[in-house]
């Protein structure tokens, strides 16, 4: 799969008409940024947060509310996928580009997180979760083990059926319960939670997840902003966290 993505990127770059593009400098990257941002918005209905040079000459890297996109200097070619560095152990450069912005984008919703705090906190992870997914439930069932290892888990909502949906309403009921942490545990055990409404910002949490490149749950955001898609056992997650510090 990785090879296919890399090959697709190479083909996209080779076929793009870079011969007519301006030299690859930061000044030129900024020169037509407004035009390129508008084209992406008009064509794909995405919000472009930033546009900058990519590691590939002739391509710009656009950070959007639907993840990272790559666009040619003249705006005629688009690539959507992960860019890897063959000389650095297949490092995912697309993922690396998202790491820093992720933490800044998460901050405005920190007061809406459901936090399971470790008594002896050593690490903090943010998990986009859904109350019905099997691996989200598996992770939650091991919450005491994560906490005992010094890992604080902060939840944000990512209803997999989207917003609006019955799924999103159920998650709002959890967030708006008198005791949200207990309600989350009950919901992930398959129990029904009494309907409730409040300013939980479930839609905002869901759309934030989409902006961060999340398309499934659980999705674990580490302290440096890098993301692990999928469940990680407590011991494995601790080793990853220690290796990134």
Catalytic positions are 130, 133, 136, 160
Asked if the bond preceding 148 is cis, omega within 30° of 0, the reply is no
- Count of beta carbons in the 10 Å neighbourhood of residue 78: 17
Residues 6+ apart with CB under 8 A from 206: 157, 158, 159, 162, 163, 168
Q: In the numeric block, which tokens belong to residue 207?
A: 């759309």
Residue 59: closest CA among 48, 75, 72: 72
Among candidate residues 160, 214, 155, 162, the one with its CA nearest the CA of residue 185: 155
- Which tokens go with 80? 């959507």
Angle between helices 134-141 and 180-188 (to 10 degrees): 120
Q: Are 109 and 208 in contact (CB under 8 A)?
A: yes
CB 24 within 8 A of CB 57: yes
DSSP 168-193: HHHHHHHHTSSSHHHHHHHHHTT---
Tokens of 239: 């080793």
């Amino acid at each position: 799969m990785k090879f296919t993505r890399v090959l697709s990127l190479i083909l996209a770059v080779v076929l793009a008409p870079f011969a007519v593009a301006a030299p690859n400098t930061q000044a030129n990257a900024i020169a037509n940024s407004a035009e390129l941002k508008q084209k992406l918005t008009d064509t794909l209905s995405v919000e472009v947060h930033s546009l900058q040079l990519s590691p590939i000459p002739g391509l710009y890297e656009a950070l959007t509310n639907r993840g990272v996109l790559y666009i040619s200097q003249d705006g005629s070619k688009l690539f959507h996928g992960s860019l890897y560095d063959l000389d650095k152990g297949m490092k995912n450069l697309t993922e690396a580009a998202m790491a820093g912005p992720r933490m800044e984008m998460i901050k405005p919703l920190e007061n809406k997180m459901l936090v399971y705090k470790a008594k002896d906190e050593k690490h903090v992870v943010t998990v986009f979760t859904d109350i019905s997914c099997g691996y989200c439930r598996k992770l939650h069932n091991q919450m005491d083990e994560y906490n005992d290892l010094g890992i604080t888990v902060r939840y944000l909502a990512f209803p997999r059926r989207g917003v609006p949906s019955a799924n999103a309403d159920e998650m709002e009921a959890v967030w708006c319960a008198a005791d949200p942490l207990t309600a989350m545990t009950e919901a992930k055990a398959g129990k029904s939670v009494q309907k409730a409404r409040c300013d939980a910002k479930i839609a905002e949490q869901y759309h934030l997840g989409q902006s961060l490149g999340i398309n499934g749950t659980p999705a674990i955001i580490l302290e440096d902003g890098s993301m692990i898609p999928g469940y990680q056992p407590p011991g494995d997650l601790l080793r990853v966290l220690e290796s990134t510090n």
